[in-house]
Structure 1
Amino acid sequence: MANRLANESSPYLLQHAANPVHWRPWDAAALEEAVEADKPIFLSIGYSACHWCHVMEHESFENPAIADYLNEHFISIKVDREERPDLDQIYMNAVQMLTGRGGWPMSVFLTPQLKPFFGGTYWPPTSKAGMPGFDQVLRAVMDAWQNRRAIALEQSDKFAERLQEIGQAEDSGEAIGLELLDQAYKYLESVYDFNHGGFGGAPKFPHTMDLAVCLRYSRRKPDSRALEIVTHNLDQMARGGIYDHLGGGFARYSVDAEWLVPHFEKMLYDNALLVGIYVDAYRATDREDFARVARETCDYVIHYLTDESGGFHSAEDADSEGVEGKFYVWNRDEIVSALGEVRGYRFCEIYDVSESGNFEGHNILNLPQSIEAWTAAKGVNAIELREELGADRAKLLRIRDDRIRPSKDDKVLVSWNGLMIESLAQAAGALAEPKYLAAAEKAADFLFDTMIDERGRLLHSYRQGVAKLAAYLDDYANLANACVSLYEATFDDRWLDRAIDLTNLMIRHFADPAGGGFYFTADDHEQLIARNKDLYDNSVPSGNSMAAVVLLRLAALLGNTDLLDEALTAMRVAAPLMKKHPTATGQMLTAVDRYVGPAREVVVLGHPTSGDTQTFLTEYRRSYSPNSVIACVSPTEMPEEDAPLAPIFAGKMPLPDADGTVYVCENFACQRPVIAKDAIGELGAS
């Protein structure tokens, strides 16, 4: 008999709908039941692409004895962390306080008043390898609840107080300057693995935001190793098994130090952020291989992670047919059979495919050396080989697509879609690929058409025709930032208007006027035991760092110093963390880089799709100018005095007989106007 999860839309919750555990979703009925029954809550938080979440479900939540015990003694609540990151943040903080580490599945025991008193992550069903069994944990928790409740309640009160303190970071008053970037880069260089790439040891995550800090820093200090770090890291990942050499896109992380064996799940947010850093690295270095990886990753998202409505799905699982990675691995005979002996054996040699395998008797495709190095060693024509390998990969991809594919989490989240829309808008210009801009606009239109409630406020999650859950800070900040990039890609004022509207709502409902910065939940959100300020970059940028970025961009475009002040305050709230934990505040450090400057406003008078103006815009979008904003209008369509962009265009006139006029402004002063065809040479890096 299905439990109460059967009526949910989350793929993760639906995966547990047939468990013998009497799961409830997090809702008023479940919370009231805990109070009325005077039972502790067992809160289990995970997500659909989480391998160990599947393991614990099979081992424990499908176990009749464990289910019976849970059903008798606890109110069991299952939460999708991607739908309810507010709950995930609060109770992950509690688990980290309790155990010194975190992760998913997250398992937390709460009082009926929602205060945590014990928790952990994965437990096996019975004691194994030095780990207590989940059956033992449940009995110990119930013993404490029945026989030592006063102690448990006292502990829960202390945890709740500490959780409330964690969420109350305030304006530090510290100066925001170049020293923050210097300190951060010094630390990043000290922990970088110059052999294999990556920051620290295994497991290795992409750390895209830290790479973005290094890429920006390389412009300030060209004699540093910052650019070497970026290019080396991107090379190593793109050659490793973490990258899908057939279908494009990246897995979530590598379990080893050499990027060979991925944790095979593919997340939308990772691929969005990786597109962004590969596009920027292409802009900064003009390396076509970086452009190729960005294209292939965009194509992966468009082909495999796009809803028919235009929104982007959340993830593909690591497992298929109950085996992690089965969909992705090969044996040598399969490849030789598909490609023929000559091409098959050559492909196997290049992509590290052997009889014995490089992963549990199978092979993960990867490039131990670059194709250029292989061709140089063999005396083979590189252009011809690349064409051959491209055809071979396409053939193998068609074969792979006939396999049983990993399950997909097809819900659409505004925050992650915002990241992908932003990256597609950037890629469209840098790579001259209009289809990426079309996909970005279609996704954004879908969000605004479908995920706005009757109050004009964003909703967080959508699946199969149902949009729900009040949006969080990162939903507003990420989508507003994406809209700024859509404006800069199209110069369509509707995108700027939407960015302004979202930013105003963000300030009105999420800002802390007393302490500075932004709360993760709105002022009228469901009341929880704590209200956090999201400051740490984890797998995605923090809400506060993205808020600071979009505030700085809009402040420059609109000439609005109030927005600049909001951004500065958010940076000051995060300043102590930037000093102490630079690898957890990379996105905020990019905001600092923009704030410290030089930051430029590029103002173009000319029709964006004609003549020299179009040529200038094409070259501008190909350049690495991370701290610039750009506005463009035809001289015959100058904005009205009360229009948002009126200040940036005020007093600017086209040069006589010019097919496009460009003004570059910095520190509230504009340089002399330049005709568009000469402007790229004078613009320089910004």
Structure 2
Amino acid sequence: MNRLGAATSPYLLQHAGNPVDWWEWGEDAFAEAKRRNVPILLSVGYAACHWCHVMAHESFEDEATAAYLNEHYVSIKVDREERPDVDAVYMQATTAMTGQGGWPMTVVMDHEGAPFFAGTYLPDQPRHGSPSFLQVLRALSGAWVDRGEDVRRTAANVAEHLRKEASLPSYALTGERIDGAVATLAGEFDPMAGGFGQAPKFPPTMVLEFLRRYRGESEQQARHMLARTVAAMAGSGMYDQVGGGFARYAVDRGWVVPHFEKMLYDNAQLLGLYARLGTDLGARIATETADFLLRELRTAEGGFASALDADSPAELGEHAHEGLFYVWTPTQLVAELGPDDGAWAAELFGVTAEGTFEHGTSTLQLRHYPQDPADQDRLAEVRRQLLAARERRPRPARDDKVVAAWNGLAISGLVDAARRLDRPDYLAAAVEAGELIAGLHLQDGRLRRVSRDGVAGTHAGVLEDYGCVASGFLALAQATADARWLRLATGLIDTALAEFAAPDGGFYDTGAGAEVLVTRPRDPGDNASPSGFSSLVHALVEAHALTGEGRYRDAAETALATVSVLADKAPRFAGWSLAAAVTMLDGPLEVAVVGPAGPQRDALVARALALPGAVVVAADEAEEGIPLLAGRTPVDGRPAAYVCRGFVCERPVTEPAGIG
């Protein structure tokens, strides 16, 4: 076992038995490379990454490749989910040097951490015009020895390029510019299959929430793009039609075949989005996805694990196979369900003899949900039986580390579902996760990025941790009327404003006291999850609504101006910022509902929650610790809603129709 045997990261532990003499990221590894005068190989991935597993099997488990690495390099392995700062810096370099990024990421660098080679997956044999991993290693080692000055000059130039911050104009995201973003999205929309672009297709959750909130000249078009995409994803092979929850993305335009890993950050966001739709489809998908989270990702401590692997072993001792846990043949359906239900399920789910995946297997798709109640009951029983049958298959591995940011997203999503679907069990799970983050990850006012088995890791939280956890705590404050959650949230926001602020009003991804890397990472663009920037902006907007603190809104407005160019040019990567900007145009709507619990109060809350972007807090009586609730009382003994928007408050109303 190499040095990774003492790691806490499940991804690093996957490589603990490699013959490669891996080091964790740290000063010792750099000092060793300098002592031996060899370059540094940096390999970055994550536990659920299929191609990371492939490269590990082909190269890092190979004795000859490992021997060459051990002799000519110091090799460092990094879990991108544990160290997003390291990942961000070298992904920026990889994209700049190759034009594309992804994982596994393979970087070779000098003793100062400056890269002179970057790539992604490298095969064990030359394929499709690409050299093998070992050929690349030999060429780079030879260059280091024979042309050392040239190599170091190249590395220094790359490092200097990374340090240069582009100076972009800042301007307000006005209604006109937001209209323009919708028009740009319409030009990239896939009218046949939903979603944006061709293949692969990722769930555009943050963009869809922007379209849900949008009110403007292209509102009808925005609604169409939203409805078409949420329906397509819900009926697709990317959605787990048996167990609920979404895979990370579809490899094809039509959403048929997924990349089978299931990530917490995707499912947490999609859970909330579908719950907020206010439709039968939304309620069904939100319920199934929330149940998946609680069944398969919840940890013993009450948090949520990071991911389920794409792969599962065919038989004990064999190498993993992607998707094996999730796919079916007609014969397998008949064997589990009997001839009649098996044939019915095969037709309903699009399972064919030819197959839609590999080796005659098919993913399950549900393009048309049954309308007949008897067929709906039949489908529920089929799903129950198939889920039980699937439990007998070898399960994909689970990355059980708890990431603060993604648990913040899960808290928010569960609260959305709990309040809209009348599921107090979802709220209880959200509170329990919040208690874990508050009690374990939050230490001396600072967040720790990860924990595992109830032990906090050493890595400091990054901006997305502060933004997502603060939003999760604010969601709990609204759902429970417990002022403690508001205090915790504003404490995190104040720390973020002090530690992560950039001179132009935007934010860095790492705090002022974080480890100094080649450059200080700063990326306001959303990817599969909200950027630290956009997550903090949302927390600022909600905190302003609950507290009335003008400095929070000022900080949000100033920050949004710094991403105006991104929102104009590439709105697919600014969806969460655009959603915040839409909310801030004339709001957000602030609603305090006060009065005894029961159907009358529930009706007021439901009406308020149906309004996009609304901040809604409900309580039995006034709560001075939550300023939006301060001084609020029932009206004539009946629950009343106090509605404010744009610094103007209306008279309290006791009927849902008065909220709007």
Kindly provide the CA deviation profile for residues 329-385 of structure 1, in whole angstroms up to 9, marking residues without a partner as x: 11212211221111211111111122232222333343464134xx7xxxxxx1101
Structure 1 residues 477-488: aligned runs within 5 Å: 477-488=467-478
Q: Per the alignment, in what secondary structure is the counterpart of residue 400 of structure 2? A: strand
Using the alignment, how far apart are the partners of 1:155 and 1:491 within structure 2?
A: 57
Instruction: Say whether residues 1:337 and 2:323 are aligned partners.
Output: no
1:496 Cα offset (Å): 0.9
1:221 Cα offset (Å): 4.3
Structure 1 residues 283-682: aligned runs within 5 Å: 283=278, 287-321=279-313, 322-367=320-365, 369-372=367-370, 382-453=372-443, 455-468=444-457, 469-512=459-502, 514-607=503-596, 609-610=597-598, 612-621=600-609, 623=610, 625-635=611-621, 637-639=622-624, 643=625, 645-646=626-627, 648-649=628-629, 654-655=634-635, 657-674=636-653, 676=654, 678=655, 680-682=656-658
Question: Does structure 2 retain, via aligned residues, the 8 Å contact 1:517–1:533?
Answer: no
Q: Structure 2 counterpart of 1:291, which letter?
A: A
1:154 match = 153
Question: Does structure 2 retain, via aligned residues, the 8 Å contact 1:22–1:76?
Answer: yes
CA shift in 2, pair 1:419/1:130, >3 Å: same
Aligned length: 653
Structure 1 residues 94-133: aligned runs within 5 Å: 94-133=93-132
Q: Structure 1 counterpart of 2:122, which letter?
A: W
Structure 1 residues 65-80: aligned runs within 5 Å: 65-80=64-79
CA shift in 2, pair 1:223/1:91, >3 Å: closer
CA shift in 2, pair 1:109/1:324, >3 Å: same
1:518 Cα offset (Å): 1.4
Question: Does structure 1 retain, via aligned residues, the 8 Å contact 2:241–2:366?
Answer: no
Q: Per the alignment, in what secondary structure is the counterpart of residue 180 of structure 1? A: helix
Instruction: Say whether residues 1:213 and 2:205 are aligned partners.
Output: no
CA shift in 2, pair 1:223/1:629, >3 Å: closer
CA shift in 2, pair 1:610/1:80, >3 Å: same
1:478 Cα offset (Å): 0.1
Question: Does structure 1 retain, via aligned residues, the 8 Å contact 2:301–2:454?
Answer: no
TM-score normalised by L of structure 2: 0.96
Using the alignment, how far apart are the partners of 1:428 and 1:442 within structure 2?
A: 14
Using the alignment, how far apart are the partners of 1:654 and 1:203 within structure 2?
A: 52
Q: Structure 2 counterpart of 1:102, which letter?
A: G
Using the alignment, how far apart are the partners of 2:453 and 2:631 within structure 1?
A: 50
TM-score normalised by L of structure 1: 0.92
Question: Does structure 1 retain, via aligned residues, the 8 Å contact 2:249–2:258?
Answer: yes
Using the alignment, how far apart are the partners of 1:55 and 1:105 within structure 2?
A: 9
Using the alignment, how far apart are the partners of 2:219 and 2:92 within structure 1?
A: 40
Using the alignment, how far apart are the partners of 2:476 and 2:139 within structure 1?
A: 55
Using the alignment, how far apart are the partners of 1:367 and 1:533 within structure 2?
A: 39
Question: Does structure 2 retain, via aligned residues, the 8 Å contact 1:60–1:67?
Answer: yes
Question: Does structure 2 retain, via aligned residues, the 8 Å contact 1:164–1:532?
Answer: no
Using the alignment, how far apart are the partners of 1:451 and 1:553 within structure 2?
A: 22
2:317 match = none
Q: Structure 2 counterpart of 1:22, which letter?
A: D
CA shift in 2, pair 1:651/1:371, >3 Å: closer
Question: Does structure 2 retain, via aligned residues, the 8 Å contact 1:240–1:366?
Answer: yes
Which residue of the other structure, out of 224, 231, 234, is the alignment partner of 1:228? 224
CA shift in 2, pair 1:542/1:169, >3 Å: farther
Question: Does structure 2 retain, via aligned residues, the 8 Å contact 1:245–1:365?
Answer: no
Using the alignment, how far apart are the partners of 1:556 and 1:142 within structure 2?
A: 57
Question: Does structure 2 retain, via aligned residues, the 8 Å contact 1:169–1:515?
Answer: no
CA shift in 2, pair 1:179/1:279, >3 Å: same
Percent of pairs with identical residues: 42
1:638 Cα offset (Å): 4.7
1:379 match = none
2:185 match = 188
Q: Structure 1 counterpart of 2:451, which letter?
A: Y
CA shift in 2, pair 1:353/1:569, >3 Å: same
1:223 Cα offset (Å): 5.3
1:253 Cα offset (Å): 0.6
Q: Structure 2 counterpart of 1:354, which letter?
A: T
1:580 Cα offset (Å): 1.5
Q: Per the alignment, in what secondary structure is the counterpart of residue 333 of structure 1? A: helix
Using the alignment, how far apart are the partners of 1:367 and 1:462 within structure 2?
A: 36
1:378 match = none
Using the alignment, how far apart are the partners of 2:632 and 2:333 within structure 1?
A: 62
Question: Does structure 2 retain, via aligned residues, the 8 Å contact 1:246–1:393?
Answer: yes
Structure 1 residues 50-61: aligned runs within 5 Å: 50-61=49-60
Question: Does structure 1 retain, via aligned residues, the 8 Å contact 2:593–2:642?
Answer: yes
Q: Per the alignment, in what secondary structure is the counterpart of residue 442 of structure 2? A: coil
1:273 match = 269
Question: Does structure 2 retain, via aligned residues, the 8 Å contact 1:611–1:659?
Answer: no
Q: Per the alignment, in what secondary structure is the counterpart of residue 160 of structure 2? A: helix
2:80 match = 81
Using the alignment, how far apart are the partners of 2:523 and 2:162 within structure 1?
A: 13
Question: Does structure 1 retain, via aligned residues, the 8 Å contact 2:235–2:366?
Answer: yes
Q: Per the alignment, in what secondary structure is the counterpart of residue 24 of structure 1? A: strand
Q: Per the alignment, in what secondary structure is the counterpart of residue 220 of structure 1? A: coil
Using the alignment, how far apart are the partners of 1:335 and 1:236 within structure 2?
A: 24
Q: Per the alignment, in what secondary structure is the counterpart of residue 554 of structure 1? A: helix
Q: Structure 1 counterpart of 2:332, which letter?
A: E
Using the alignment, how far apart are the partners of 1:653 and 1:280 within structure 2?
A: 28
Q: Per the alignment, in what secondary structure is the counterpart of residue 539 of structure 1? A: coil
1:562 Cα offset (Å): 0.8
1:179 match = 176
1:35 match = 34
CA RMSD after TM alignment: 1.7
Q: Per the alignment, in what secondary structure is the counterpart of residue 225 of structure 1? A: helix
Q: Structure 1 counterpart of 2:229, which letter?
A: N
CA shift in 2, pair 1:651/1:461, >3 Å: closer
Using the alignment, how far apart are the partners of 1:650 and 1:199 within structure 2?
A: 44
1:452 Cα offset (Å): 2.4
Which residue of the other structure, out of 235, 242, 267, is the alignment partner of 2:238? 242
Question: Does structure 1 retain, via aligned residues, the 8 Å contact 2:250–2:259?
Answer: yes
Question: Does structure 2 retain, via aligned residues, the 8 Å contact 1:169–1:573?
Answer: no
